[in-house]
Amino acid sequence: MNKKAIIAVLSALVLTVVASVTLILTVGQKANADSEPTVGVLDKEEYFYIDDGHLSTLSDIGMEYAGQFDFLKVIIPNNVTEISGNVFYYGGFSFYSIFSANIGAGGFPVDYSDKVVEIILPDTLESITSCSFSGCSALKCIRIPASVKDINKTKIYQNPDSYSLFNGCDNLTKIYCECSKEYANEHWNEHWNEIYADVYDEEQDDWVDIYKTINTVWDCNKTITFDVDGGNETIDNQTVCVDSLVTKPTDPTKDGYTFKGWFIGDDEYDFATPVTADMTLTAQWEAISEQPEPSNPEQPTTPENPEQPTTPDTDTETVTVGSKNGFNLGAAIGGGLVTGLGSISAIAATVIVRRRHK
C-alpha cells in the first residue's frame, strides 16, 4: 500500500472516531435534559436527630440520603414536639441546621434547604421556634397543625427578621392554620407569617425594614363526615378550612335504591356553600319501585298432526247381470271370491259394485 493510501485510511478512521464521540456526547446530553427530577422523602426517625421530642438537625444518614435527590419532601416524625430555630437553614443561627449538618470542602455547611418542596408537620408538634423554616425557597404551602400552642416570641437575634418562620421562602404563597386567628394573635408572635425584607426607600434615602404577609387561611381543621346510610361504599372524611368548600365525592350506590343526594336533616347540601363548622352529610335514597314482570304467554305449540282420513272399508259385490244361458253364477261379499256354481260357457258382462259402509 502506498503512502497516499495509508494517509487516506488513517484520515477516515480519525473522522469515524470524531463522529462517534460527537454522537455519544449529543445523546448523553439529550438523555440528561429529558430525565425527570428526583424527589426524596425524609420520613424515617433515623434521618433526624431528635432528643426528648426536640428536633434540631438531620442525622448523618439523613444528610447522605438528602444529597442524592433534586428535591425533598420532609415528613417530621410523630414523636417531635418542638422544632429548633433555623433548623432548615445554616445561615445566622446554627451551622448544624437540618440541611447543613456536614461541613463542605470550603469549610461551610452543606445547605439543602433550597431543595425542600414540602414539609408535613405532625399532630404532636407543640412549639416552633422563630426562623425554623428559613431558607426553604422552593416551599409553596404549609399546614400548621392545631396542636401548635406557641410560636416563639423571643428573638433569636436583634434583627427584625428573627421573628418570622419563613424568611427566604420566596415562593411560599399560602399557610393553612388549624387554629383560629384569635388564638394565633394571642399566643404567637405578630410577624410569624411574614417575610422580612430590607428595601431602599427613596423618599427617606435609606434602607427600611418591611414585612410581606403570606396569605393565611384559618381554622383548617373542620371535619366533614359522609354517612352513606347503608350504601355499598365507605367515603373518607374531609378536613377543610373555614370559608373553603367541601369536595363533592362520587355518588355512592345502594342495592335497590336510587341516590337522591347529600342532606343535612331534610335539606339537601349545597356544595357551593363555604364551610363554617364540622358537619355530617347523610346520603338519602329512593327505593326503586318494583315493576311487575310481564307474564309470558304460553308459546303456541306445534299442533298435533290431525289424523289423516283413511280409506273407508268397503264390501265388494260381484253381480252377474247376464249370461248367455240365464244361469245365476253367485256372489262374493266383503272381498270374497265369486265362484261359478256351474259350468259357464259364456259371460255376457260382470260388474263390480263397491258399497260404502255407513
Q: Please give the CATH topology (third level) of the domain spanning 222-287.
A: Immunoglobulin-like (2.60.40)
- Pairwise pLDDT comparison (335 vs 209), residue with the higher score: 209
Percent of the chain with pLDDT over 90: 38
What's the pLDDT at 215? 92
Tell me the C-alpha distance between 127 and 106, whole Å. Answer: 34
3-state SS, 214-233, equals: CEEECCCCEEEEEECCCCCC
Q: Which residues pair with 171 in a beta bridge?
A: none
Q: Which residues pair with 48 in a beta bridge?
A: 58
Element (H, E) at 31: helix 3-34
What's the pLDDT at 204? 80
Mean of pLDDT over the chain: 75
Tens digits of residue pLDDT in 41-83: 999 999 988 999 998 888 888 888 988 999 999 999 999 999 9
What's the pLDDT at 91? 41
Element (H, E) at 175: strand 174-177
What's the pLDDT at 142? 94
Query: How many residues are recorded in the chain?
Result: 358
CA–chain centroid gap for 142, Å, is 23
- Diameter of the chain by CA atoms? 174
C-alpha separations of 203 from 160, 171, 197, 209, 211 in Å: 21, 29, 17, 14, 18
- Pairwise pLDDT comparison (90 vs 250), residue with the higher score: 250
What's the pLDDT at 88? 78
pTM beyond 0.75: the answer is no
Least confident of 35-49, 166-180, 222-236, 339-353: 339-353
Tens digits of residue pLDDT in 311-347: 655 554 544 444 444 444 344 444 443 444 344 334 4
Confidence of residue 123 (pLDDT cuts 50, 70, 90): very high
Mean pLDDT of 19-36: 52
